Amino acid sequence: TKRFSLASPPLQSGFQLRPEPTNGEKPTALRELSQETICPLCLDFFKQPMSLSCGHNFCRDCLAQLGAEVSCPQCRAKVEPSSACPNRALANMVCLVKRLQGKLWTLLEKNASVRQIVDIYVTLNGSTAHPQLWCQGSSVTWANRYQDCPDVPGRFDQEFCVLGSEGFTTGWHWWEVSVQGPYNFPVRGRACWAIGVAKESIRRKGRFCLHPQEGIWAVGKSNYETVAFGEVKKEYLGFQAPLQRLWVRLDCEAKEVQFLDAEMQDSLYTFQMGPFLGEGRETLRPFFYLGRMGVTLQCEKYPSKLRANTTPNHHNVA
């Protein structure tokens, strides 16, 4: 009976060439290597791997449960579990894969940390701003007079809106917006404002409503109330105190945008954008709306102490 030997050809050690995936998924070297270090019986990493005379490998404890004389669970060849030999090469490979996976997760965590820092400081695209709005870098407020601006195709001419300069199609993006009244006091009364995200293709000319059908997902203040501008109607969020600082969390992969109260560090509302985005990856931009004088929206840098907290509780989902 032929036993496994380190000098045997690779295919006799149980390592078999796998066909290329047909579902469009690109294989990775680490993924394929990891598949070869999994015991087919317990579906976990090999522990004290043993090689049978047929060349297939199993954990030592898994073989002990097969009995005195059985057939190989993979090829059904008659084998004697007592004749199995330790596969030290495979054991070393398991240790290597575990180390590589640990290093990979460390790199992914570092990459996620960097990704959360990038693209979090929003500036405004003045060429999209309604002529009644005055934009300066990362802030927008009402101008004292109607400004003489060129009527370019990308400028809002009826709704008092402006878009951010940054466009997003992939990844996670955070930014902070402060809502200020005169002399930096909280905004009270009938002041009307909204912040959120919008599709690049939203209408710039004529009147429209702030809701997902138009490609806008926003929360704000309307008629004394804090609201989410929902799919059918405004949804009142029930906040008595005026919001002063908000965080916007855009997850392009999950196709959702979440709004959080930065003062209370709590979730306000979450929109699921998938039904209105389709299968493509349309560019999404920060969106700002001012309905009355006396309000300034200021984009701030996201506080570093909360960058790691990317999954707050969802209170409302649309």
> pLDDT-derived band of residue 217, with 50, 70 and 90 as boundaries?
very high
Interstrand relation of 245-251 and 256-261 (parallel, antiparallel or unpaired)? antiparallel
pLDDT (mean) for 87-106: 81
CA distance 142 to 282: 30
The lowest-confidence range among 30-39, 128-137, 205-214 is 30-39
> pLDDT-derived band of residue 109, with 50, 70 and 90 as boundaries?
low
CA distance 262 to 247: 6
| Angle at CA of residue 300, ends 297 and 303, nearest 5° | 140
| Higher-pLDDT residue of 76, 9 | 76
Please write the tens of the pLDDT for every residue from 130-146. Answer: 999 999 889 999 887 88
The lowest-confidence range among 25-29, 221-225, 251-255 is 25-29
The lowest-confidence range among 187-196, 265-274, 298-307 is 298-307
CA distance 41 to 287: 54
Percentage of the chain lying above the pLDDT 90 cut: 29
| Higher-pLDDT residue of 212, 36 | 212
Please write the tens of the pLDDT for every residue from 159-168. Answer: 999 999 989 9
Closest CA to 269 of 195, 206, 203: 195
| Higher-pLDDT residue of 231, 147 | 147
| Higher-pLDDT residue of 216, 244 | 216
Q: State if pTM tops 0.75.
A: no
> pLDDT-derived band of residue 53, with 50, 70 and 90 as boundaries?
confident
Unique residue bearing structure tokens 């930096």: 184
Question: What average pLDDT is seen over the chain?
Answer: 78
Q: Return phi, psi of residue 35, to 5°.
A: -60, -30
- Burial tier of 101 (Cβ tally within 10 Å: 0-12, 13-18, 19+): middle
pLDDT for the residue numbered 177: 93
